[in-house]
Chain A
C-alpha cells in the first residue's frame, strides 16, 4: 500500500486492460488504481500516461481535478465526512471532532503514522440517514457517537474494511410514498417488449442518415419512431432539474448525423439534499436499464453509459450483476429480445467526486477521461456528444419514467400531473422532518402537503431543488412542485425555526466554491469571493458593504459564468437575504470604519514576543 512498492504496477496493468487500453477511459483507470492503492502516486500517473499514450501533464491534470483522487498518500483509512447542511444539522461536526480526537488526527491531514486522514466532502446523498461519511470510498450512514467510537477502534486496530460490521454499510431506502414509478409492478424487459410491439404500421419516418433503423433491419424502422412518438406525446420532461422535453431531445439525436449514437444515464446526483436516484438505482435498476434500452431503440444507439457518482460506488457490484443477468436474458447485447440488429449494451463509469460533472457536457468530458469542464455550446450533445457523436444524456428518473411510457403509452402518462408537467416527481425529503426519505407525488403537489406528509413542524424554510434551486418561506407553502411553479431535481430540505438561515446559506456558498471547476473567471474567483464575504460576516466583521458586494457578485455570475453552477451559486444567499434578512443583519457591524479583522487581536503575537500586556500594548486603549 505504499508508493515504494510496485503495487501500483499490477493495478495499472489490470485496470488498463479492463478498460481496453482506451485513453477515453482514463478516469476509470485512475479511479480503480486509487481504490487498489489508496492513492495514485506520480510514478503510477507516469505509467498510466505511458501505456495510454497520453502526456504526463494530461493524466496529472485529470487526477488533480477530481476530489476523490489523491496523488499523495491519504492514510490507510481515508475518512471523509459528508458536509451537507443536513449532516451539520444532525451533528456531523461534533462527531468528526470526536473521531479526530480519538485518532489523534488533525482534520484535513494524514496522521503522522500514515494510518488515517479525516476530512470533509460534499453531500454524499445520505441526507435522510445522516450524518454520513465515506471510508475508503465506502458509505457509512446513520452515524452516532457510539458508531463513530467503534469506527475509531476499528481504525486503530487496523481492521480491514471487509471485516467491519456489515450493518455499518447498510443504506436504507426509506420509501415513504410510492406512486406510479416507485410502485410499479414491473418485469425486466416489459418496456423493451412493449416498444418492439408498438407501431408496426403507419410510421415511415427515418433518421436522416440511416438506411435501416440502425443500418441493419428495414422492417423495424417503424417501431423506434412509434416509441419516439409516445415519448413526445407523454410530454415527459427531464427530471434532473432543467426540464427539457425528453421527446425533443431524443428526436434531435435520432435525426443528427453521426457514425454512432450514445445513450447516457446521468446518475451523478450531486446536488446537496438529493438522494432519489440512489434509491432508484438500488431498487429499480431494471426499470432504468429498460428505459435506457428503449431510448437506444428510439434514437438508434448502440452503446449506453451510466455515469454513477463516486459516492454511490457501493452500488456498482449489484448494478453490474443486474447488467450481466440482463445480458443472459437477451435484454442487452446483440439481438435484444430476438430482434435482429437491435444491439445495445451498457457500461458503468464511476465518477470521482465532482459536482459539476452532473452538467451534461461536463459529464461527457468526464466519460471521455478528461477534466470535467462544461463544454462551449452549441454544439449540444444531441449532435456532438460522446466522442463528438449524437448523444442523449438523461437523468435516472427520466429514463425510468420513459420505460413506463413505453409500456403504458404517452396519453396515459400525460393524464397524470399538471398541464405542463406530466407524470410524477420523486422528492428527496430531509432536514427537520419526522419521516425523512423518498416521496413520489403527481406533479402539482403543494409544498404544504409534502410538509404534512413528512411530519414537519414549525417549518421556517424549505430549500427546493438544493442550493441551486429556491429557498421558500411559509408564505409560499401553497406553491406547487411543477415546472410551472417550483421546478425541482428532487431535493426538499426542511428547516425549522431553530435553524440559522445565514449558516445554511454559508454552507451552500462553501459548497459552490469547492465544486467550481475553475474554467471561467467569474465562477472560479467569484464563488471564493462569496465565501470570503460570508465568512467575514460570520466572523462578526460584516458590514452593509458586504451585502452590496454579494449583490454585485451575483450580477457578475449571472451575466458571465460559463455554466449553471456559476449562474446559481448566489441563489441560496440572495433567497435567504430576501426572506431572512434579520439572520444576516444581526451579524453585521454598523461602524463608520469596519476592518476585516480585529486590529487589537492582530497585535497579540507582538505582545507575546515582547512580553508586554500593559494598556499601551492594546489598540483600543490608545488615546
Chain B
C-alpha cells in the first residue's frame, strides 16, 4: 500500500516531498536509479535518458517526472538496464573516448556508469567525429572529443555563475558545445577557473591545465566505490523545498 506521499519503486515504498522528481525522491530514500545528466544542484532537463523508468507502465525520464502518490515505478528490470546500457554505448560511439589516456579516467561519470551497468562491448560502430581541442585559455582547456552534451556546464554557468560561458550549437548529430565568444575560443570569454561551470563536467571535457593525474589511477573517485554508491552519498537526504 502506498499513501498520498509515497510511491512504489520496484515494489518498495518510497516517500517523497511535493516538487520532487521520481529520481530525486528515490535517491533521497537511498534507492539508486542510474542517471548521467542529472545533478542534484541543477534543474533537471532529461536529455541523456539513462534514468528512464516505467511509471505506471509508461517509459519516462525519471528526472523530469514529478513524483506522485501511488504511482508504480519500475527501474531495476532487465529491459530498462539493457536500454541504459545501449544509451551508454551510444554516447561512447558518438564521441572519442579513449579511457586509458584520459585524465578523467576513474573520475569519469560515463566510464563509471559503463562499469556499473556492465557494458561489456562497444555495441555500435564508433563515429570518430572530428572535434578540435580548445587550449586557448591560460588555465583551462576543453577537449570536446569527450563531450556527452549533458549541458551541466551550460546550466552551471547560466544558473550559478551568471555568465553563459557555454551554450549549444548545431543540431542532431552535429550538436556541439560552444563558448560565448565570436572567435569561438574559451580565452575570449569571461570564463574563470573558479567558476562552478568548470568543475561540473562529469567527463573529461573541461580540464585544468598543469594538473594532470594528481591522484593516481586506482585511487580515484570511482576506483574506490561504484557510481551507484557515490550517487547515493551525494544525494541530498533532506528533500529540498522548491
Min CB distance B71 to A, Å, is 14
Q: Chain A interface: which size bin?
A: 35 or more
Q: Is there an interface contact between A560 and B83, defined as CB atoms closer than 8 Å?
A: yes
User: Chain B residues near A513 (CB, 8 Å)?
Assistant: 172-173
Bound CA span A60–B181, Å: 9
Query: Which chain B positions have C-beta within 8 A of A552?
Result: 86
Q: A376-B64, A522-B87, A560-B87 are in contact. Are A64 and B49 (CB under 8 A)?
A: no
Q: Which residue in A58, A514, A517, A596 is a CB contact (below 8 Å) of B167?
A: A58
Say if the beta carbon of B210 comes within 8 Å of chain A.
Answer: no
Q: Which residue of B lies closest to A514 (CB)?
A: B172
Contact in complex: B180, A520 (CB < 8 Å): no
Contact of B172 among A524, A529, A561 (CB under 8 A): A524
Cα separation A57 to B184 with both chains bound (whole Å): 9
Expressed in whole angstroms, the minimum distance between the Cβ of B96 and any Cβ of chain A is: 14
CB distance from B117 to the nearest CB of A (A): 14
Closest to B165 in A: A57
Interface: A274 (CB within 8 A): no
Would A556 and B87 count as touching, CB distance under 8 A?
yes
Q: Contacts A60-B178, A376-B64, A596-B125 given: A522-B169 contact, CB under 8 Å?
A: no
* B180:A55 contact, CB within 8 angstroms: yes
What's the tally of chain B residues with a CB closer than 8 Å to chain A? Answer: 39
The answer to whether B173 touches A532 (Cβ under 8 A) is no
B93 at the interface (CB under 8 A from A): yes
For the complex, give the distance between the alpha carbons of A517 and B172 in Å: 5
Given the known interface contacts A65-B171, A518-B171, A556-B83, the answer about A562 and B47 at a Cβ–Cβ threshold of 8 Å is: yes
Contacts A521-B49, A559-B83, A560-B52 given; indicate if A516 touches B173 (C-beta within 8 A): yes
Q: Which residue of B lies closest to A553 (CB)?
A: B86
CB of B174 within 8 A of chain A? Answer: yes
B45 within 8 A of A: yes
Pairwise interchain contact A56-B181, C-beta atoms closer than 8 A? yes
- Find the B residue at minimum CB distance from A536: B125
Given A42-B182, A560-B52: A520 and B169 interface contact (C-beta under 8 Å):
no
Contact B47 A559 (CB under 8 A): no
**CA A297 to CA B149, docked complex, whole Å:** 43
Contact of B182 among A45, A520, A521, A532 (CB under 8 A): A45
Bound form: Cα–Cα A331–B174 in Å: 45
Partner of A518, one of B49, B86, B125, B172: B172
Report whether A518 and B174 are in contact in the complex, using a CB–CB cutoff of 8 Å.
yes
Residue pair A560, B49 in contact (C-beta under 8 Å): yes
Interface residues of A in 525-569 (CB under 8 A from B): 525-529, 532, 552, 555-556, 559-562
Q: Which residues of chain B are near A371, meaning CB under 8 Å?
A: 168, 171
Contacts of A562 in B (CB 8 A): 46-47, 49, 61
Contact assessment for B83 and A526 in the assembled complex, using a CB-CB cutoff below 8 Å:
no
Which residues of chain A are near B173, meaning CB under 8 Å? Answer: 513, 516, 518, 524-525, 527-528
C-beta contact mask, B75-110 vs A, less than 8 Å → 1, else 0? 000000001001100110110000000000000000
B168 closest partner in A (C-beta)? A61
Q: At the interface, yes or no: B136 with Cβ under 8 Å from chain A?
A: no
Whether B49 contacts A57 by the Cβ 8 Å rule is: no
- Interface flag for B235 (CB, 8 Å): no
Q: Cβ of A314 < 8 Å from any Cβ of B?
A: no
Pairs A–B under 8 Å by Cβ, sample size 16: A56-B181, A57-B166, A57-B178, A57-B180, A376-B64, A516-B173, A517-B175, A518-B173, A521-B48, A521-B91, A524-B149, A525-B91, A525-B94, A528-B172, A555-B83, A561-B49
Q: Which residues of A contact B (CB under 8 A)?
A: 42-43, 45-46, 55-58, 60-61, 64-65, 354, 371, 376, 378, 513-522, 524-529, 532, 552, 555-556, 559-562, 596
Q: Hey, which bits of chain B sit against chain A, CB under 8 A?
A: 45-50, 52, 59, 61, 64, 66, 83, 86-87, 90-91, 93-94, 124-125, 127, 149, 164-175, 178-182
- Known pairs A521-B50, A529-B90. 20 more at Cβ < 8 A? A45-B182, A46-B182, A57-B166, A57-B167, A58-B164, A65-B171, A371-B171, A513-B173, A516-B171, A520-B47, A521-B47, A521-B91, A524-B94, A524-B173, A525-B90, A526-B90, A556-B87, A560-B49, A560-B61, A596-B125
